[in-house]
């Protein structure tokens, strides 16, 4: 019995039904990312971390991805997501606080067919890794930007469209932010992307902290589930130091 399993049996026996020893998606990269992103910390592959993505990326530049760790609601420290075979694999580092569910929806770029991962760190120090596979024709990370072909795009940087929609127990905030999210892989165009987002409540309390990476699509779409009352604000910052502040009632 290796350390992983003993750990599971000792501490998380009730969870064992959801944890699997074998990587649910075939990946040559898991050991590498386990070391690089999770510092070889204890983990389980866990089907309660749900990654919802289409089986095939119709548009490799705009692939919808939903990360659902609501099974661990109240115990989530952070969620890291990445696309294993992307040239720039990291997608997001999401830290939901009290008032926001451990659920996130966004759109990403896919360079080729790849395993997608979301690793959820719970407050007991264990990483729960959700996985899925996506097929793609490819090229989403190196294709020319659509935003940049639109004249006057600079005028609209940081504009936020969206709203808040009641969904019974909680409400869902959905936004789209105008930004080219240049990832630096198109020749002659330097990196220019939103690298930080914060969802705050009416008192300025942080509801969620996000570090974003250039695997996030241009004109990023983000959605959060909020179970706290009152209006919210989304504060964004890009790697050029531009700051944007959107009120979401």
Partner 1 sequence: MTQPARRQPFALSVLLGAILLSGQAMASVTDEDILQDPKNPGQIVTNGLGVQGQRYSPLDTLNVDNVKELRPVWAFSFGGEKQRGQQAQPMIKDGVMYLTGSYSRVFAVDARTGKKLWQYDARLPDDIRPCCDVINRGVALYGDLVFFGTLDAKLVALNKDTGKVVWSKQVADHKEGYSISAAPLVVNGKLITGVAGGEFGVVGKIQAYDPKNGELLWSRPTVEGHMGYVYKDGKAVENGISGGEAGKTWPGDLWKTGGAAPWLGGYYDPETNLLLFGTGNPAPWNSHLRPGDNLYSSSRLALNPDDGTIKWHFQSTPHDGWDYDGVNELVSFNYTEGGKEIKAAATADRNGFFYVLDRTNGKFIRGFPFVDKITWATGLDKDGRPIYNEASRPGAPGSETKGTSVFVAPAFLGAKNWMPMAYNRDTGLFYVPSNEWGMDIWNEGIAYKKGAAFLGAGFTIKPLNEDYIGVLRAIDPKTGKEVWRHKNFAPLWGGVLTTKGNLVFTGTPEGFLQAFNAKTGEKVWEFQTGSGVLGSPVTWEMDGEQYVSVLSGWGGAVPLWGGEVAKRIKDFNQGGMLWTFKLPKELVAKH
Burial code (b: 16+ CB inside 10 Å, e: under 16) for 213-242 equals bbbbbbbbbbbbbbeeeeebbbebbbbeee
Nearer to partner 1, 95 or 232 (CB): 95
Across 109-193, where does the E strand assignment appear? 114-122, 127-136, 160-167, 170-177
Question: What is the CB neighbour count within 10 angstroms for residue 28?
Answer: 9
Query: Are the C-beta atoms of 179 and 238 separated by less than 8 Å?
Result: yes
Structure tokens at 36: 């690089």
**Contacts of partner 1 in 204-223 (CB under 8 A):** 209-211
Q: Is 192 in the site for partner 1 (CB under 8 A)?
A: yes
190 is a site residue for partner 1 (CB under 8 A):
yes
Minimum CB distance to partner 1 smaller for 35 or for 167: 35
237 part of the interface to partner 1, by CB under 8 A: yes
Q: How many residues sit in the footprint of partner 1 (CB under 8 A)?
A: 24
230 binds partner 1 per the rule CB under 8 A? no
Which residues lie below 8 Å from residue 26, measured CB to CB, with a gap of 6+?
115
Piece of the chain touching partner 1 by CB under 8 A; list 17-25, 67-75, 161-169, 186-194: 186-194
**Residues forming the site for partner 1 (CB under 8 A):** 36-37, 80, 90, 93, 95, 154, 182, 184, 187-192, 196, 209-211, 237, 239-242
């Amino acid at each position: 019995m290796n350390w992983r399993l003993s750990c599971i049996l000792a501490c998380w026996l009730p969870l064992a039904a959801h944890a699997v020893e074998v990587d649910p998606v075939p990946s040559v990269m898991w050991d590498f990312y386990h070391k690089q992103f999770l510092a070889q910390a204890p983990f389980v592959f866990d089907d309660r971390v749900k990654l919802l993505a289409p089986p095939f990326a119709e548009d490799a530049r705009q692939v919808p991805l939903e990360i659902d760790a609501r099974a661990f609601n109240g115990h989530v420290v952070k969620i890291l997501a990445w696309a294993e075979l992307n040239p720039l694999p990291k997608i997001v580092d999401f830290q939901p606080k009290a008032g926001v569910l451990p659920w996130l929806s966004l759109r990403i770029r896919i360079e080729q067919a790849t395993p997608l991962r979301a690793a959820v760190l719970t407050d007991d120090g264990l990483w729960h890794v959700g996985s899925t596979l996506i097929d793609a024709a490819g090229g989403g990370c190196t294709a020319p930007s659509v935003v940049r072909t639109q004249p006057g795009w600079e005028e609209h940087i940081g504009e936020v469209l969206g709203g808040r929609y009641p969904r019974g127990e909680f409400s869902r905030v959905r936004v789209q932010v105008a930004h080219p999210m240049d990832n630096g892989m198109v020749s002659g165009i330097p990196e220019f992307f939103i690298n930080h987002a914060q969802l705050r409540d009416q008192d300025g309390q942080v509801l969620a902290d996000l570090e974003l990476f250039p695997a996030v699509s241009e004109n990023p779409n983000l959605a959060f589930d909020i179970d706290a009352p009152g209006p919210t604000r989304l504060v964004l910052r890009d790697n050029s130091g531009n700051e944007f502040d959107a009120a979401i009632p």
